[in-house]
Amino acid sequence: MKNVLCGLLIVLGLAVNAHNDKYQFYLDLNKISSDLIQVKLTTPTISSDKIIYNMPKIVPGTYKIYDFGQYAMDFEAFNKDGKPLSVNKLDKNRWEIENATTLAEISYWVEDTWDANVDELVFEPGGTNIEKGENVVLNNHGFFGYFDGMKYAKYEVNVTRPDDFYGSTGLSTIKTTGNIDQFTTDNYMDLVDSPIMYNVPDTTTFKIGNADILISVYSKNKSATALELSKDIKEILELQKDYLGGTLPVDKYAFIIYLYAGASGSGGSGALEHSYSSFYYLPEMSAEQLSGFVVRVAAHEFFHIVTPLNIHSKEIGDFDFISPKMSKHLWMYEGVTEYFAGHVQVYGGMKTPKEYLELIEEKLVGAAFFKDELAFTELSLQCLGEHEDQYSNVYLKGAIIGMCLDILLRDQSGGKIGIKDMMAMLSKEYGKYKSFEDVELFDKIAELSSPEIREFFTKYVEAGNELPLADLLNRVGVTFKKDVKVKEVGLGGVSLDLNPETNRLYIADMSNMNEFGKALGYKINDEFVAINGVEINMDSVQEQMNNFKKNTKNGDKVEIIVARTQKGKTKNKKLKAKAITIEKNKKYLIELNENITKEQLELRNAWLGQE
């Protein structure tokens, strides 16, 4: 028996030598020259005369065409003897190699996207960074490609790194020998799904349920540490775990956070989701200042492990990196995810119901800037094309659609089943490796719930009818009003602008100043320093203003400190007046109704997770 086994091993060994069935990539982070890194690939065996090597035109989660092939240059292909093979560049992202059966190696140089000289910069969380000795962000689709028909072969990525660097990733399949890290994945999709950030590490780990959570932070000026940011993330993750039924559907998850100094290259900041990690590109600020933002973004990205990562259509499951086809279900992938990220906060007790309804108002105010009559399925299908400018509505109206469904589902199940339970049912039905057909999803959800849900999709998601918010919110004892007059304390009817030099708001226009403003005695260009003893902090100014409006009644004493410049000298000046409420038009007013039936109250409590 022993001999037979040995014999088999020898045969297998020979077979492996003759036929290589995996991609073996090599990168050396010690050999960076002018922001370029050389990529070397020992290719899997190719069985056709010609073969096309692809870099992605687009990657999942970004909903934008980026042409990652444009960052690869000096592309060369070689046979086993090191002789060059002829290569035709077909377009920005594809190279055709001749005599491919003899192909053994490919090499090319990659430039990072973050500071590239292109018309439209890649949104950083989906791009690549090469800063010698400082930081390298391997969003793997920016470095590595695949051959036609061979997306499902195994991948091995070997990274030689500076001795003091660490590679943070959600991948668990890592082997380290000396200063070489070897990452392996089962296919190209999983490689693209797993960004790796290299730098001198600042990491911390903890457990949520059974999952190992890694927080990794890069901040050039050390504005915030992994340990500091982990406090907020831990708190929201605990709530998310409970929200998802008590366990997290992953064993390991990494929050990879790059804090940028100065201005954002692309003008944006945010994050991109993956199955076992999410990558964040946020401004350098103290952990305290980043806190609310990190919680909101982390909650959203983490909830993506529900959808699209575990509930998705074929368009996403078998993603076409070159000719992408969009799914019509962005209302779910982004909308329901965003709804969860807000709803978990009230459901878990981090926000009061009243605060939560204000969040809904904000979403509606934002959504009003987009085309309400555009069917959401249509927006979704054409989000790379004619409806590109409507895309951001997925986070606004998309989240409101999620809320409507949640209420409808609760209403029909006597409060027992909400949309999070529906999503749990769907992820059992489908899953990471089982996609649904784009056309079948609405019927499937109706089958698991009721025909009224199907009707909702037909009217409000597949067509652009105005959402029945008054009716639905009334079922949970919440009043919904449009265009109402409310009396509110403001800042006196002056228009504000930001002075970038002092980082303060100043009075830019006084032409609509009201009695309260006059009583305070503002002067043009006054800069706001503090209101009622609370210093104004630009990172939370919106919240501070909301609190001021909420907590100030007609006749209350108000004290505002402004910095006023006169004759070249700037001095702080105290302005005092009694608050005067001014009638204002409010686009949406959503309030808890206390005069409701027992059924309404029970349904509301079920919806918002109240005792």
Backbone angles phi, psi at 157, to 5 degrees: -120, 120
* Nearer residue to Zn ion within complex by CB, 334 or 438: 334
What residues from 395 to 414 belong to the interface with Zn ion (CB under 5 A)? none
CB of 530 to Zn ion, least distance (A): 37
> HEC profile for 504-527?
EEEEEECCCCCHHHHHHCCCCCCE
Q: For Zn ion, what does the binding mask look like between residues 261 and 300, x meaning CB under 5 A?
A: ----------------------------------------
* Nearer residue to Zn ion within complex by CB, 62 or 128: 62
* Nearer residue to Zn ion within complex by CB, 399 or 491: 399
CB of 379 to Zn ion, least distance (A): 15
Given the structure tokens 């100014």, which residue do they identify? 541
Candidates 10-18, 253-261, 281-289, 328-336: pick the segment binding Zn ion (CB under 5 A). 328-336
* Nearer residue to Zn ion within complex by CB, 270 or 517: 270
Binding residues for Zn ion, total number by CB under 5 A: 1
Q: CB-side exposure of 436: number of CA atoms within 13 Å?
A: 23
Candidates 22-30, 169-177, 331-339, 499-507: pick the segment binding Zn ion (CB under 5 A). 331-339
What residues from 211 to 230 belong to the interface with Zn ion (CB under 5 A)? none
Candidates 333-341, 524-532, 540-548, 549-557: pick the segment binding Zn ion (CB under 5 A). 333-341
* Nearer residue to Zn ion within complex by CB, 199 or 278: 278
CB of 15 to Zn ion, least distance (A): 44
* Nearer residue to Zn ion within complex by CB, 98 or 362: 362
Backbone angles phi, psi at 297, to 5 degrees: -70, -45
Distance, CA of 477 to CA of 117 (rounded, Å): 54
Distance, CA of 560 to CA of 505 (rounded, Å): 13
* Nearer residue to Zn ion within complex by CB, 72 or 461: 461
Candidates 317-325, 330-338, 428-436, 579-587: pick the segment binding Zn ion (CB under 5 A). 330-338
* Nearer residue to Zn ion within complex by CB, 71 or 243: 243
Indicate the Cα dihedral angle 487, 489, 493, 499, nearest 10°.
-140
Q: Give Cα separations from 316 to 154, 176, 320, 333 (angstroms).
A: 20, 32, 8, 10
CB of 90 to Zn ion, least distance (A): 32
Candidates 169-177, 326-334, 483-491, 521-529: pick the segment binding Zn ion (CB under 5 A). 326-334
Locate 133 and state its tokens: 């000795």
Locate 465 and state its tokens: 């009818």
Of all residues in the shown chain, the one whose CB is closest to Zn ion is 334
CB of 337 to Zn ion, least distance (A): 5
Locate 528 and state its tokens: 């706001």
Those residues whose C-beta lies under 8 Å from the C-beta of residue 425, and which sit 6 or more positions away, are: 448
* Nearer residue to Zn ion within complex by CB, 387 or 584: 387
| Helix (H) or strand (E) run with residue 40 in it | strand 36-42
Indicate the Cα dihedral angle 383, 384, 385, 388, nearest 10°.
50
| Helix (H) or strand (E) run with residue 349 in it | none
CB of 147 to Zn ion, least distance (A): 30
- Side chain identity at residue 273, one-letter code: E
CB of 345 to Zn ion, least distance (A): 17
| Helix (H) or strand (E) run with residue 258 in it | strand 252-260
Burial class, 283, CB count within 10 angstroms (exposed 0-12 / middle 13-18 / buried 19+): middle
Candidates 174-182, 318-326, 332-340, 541-549: pick the segment binding Zn ion (CB under 5 A). 332-340
CB of 273 to Zn ion, least distance (A): 6
Task: Give SS3 for 303.
Answer: helix
* Nearer residue to Zn ion within complex by CB, 125 or 167: 125
Helix and strand totals (H; E) in the chain: 17, 29
* Nearer residue to Zn ion within complex by CB, 305 or 472: 305
Distance, CA of 306 to CA of 312 (rounded, Å): 9
CB of 58 to Zn ion, least distance (A): 15
Q: Mark 159-193 as b/e (b = at least 16 C-beta within 10 Å).
A: bebbeebbbbbbbeeeeeeeeebebbbebbbbbbb
Candidates 165-173, 187-195, 226-234, 327-335: pick the segment binding Zn ion (CB under 5 A). 327-335
CB of 303 to Zn ion, least distance (A): 8
CB of 28 to Zn ion, least distance (A): 34
CB of 333 to Zn ion, least distance (A): 7
* Nearer residue to Zn ion within complex by CB, 63 or 457: 63
Q: CB-side exposure of 554: number of CA atoms within 13 Å?
A: 8
| Contact set with Zn ion (CB under 5 A) | 334
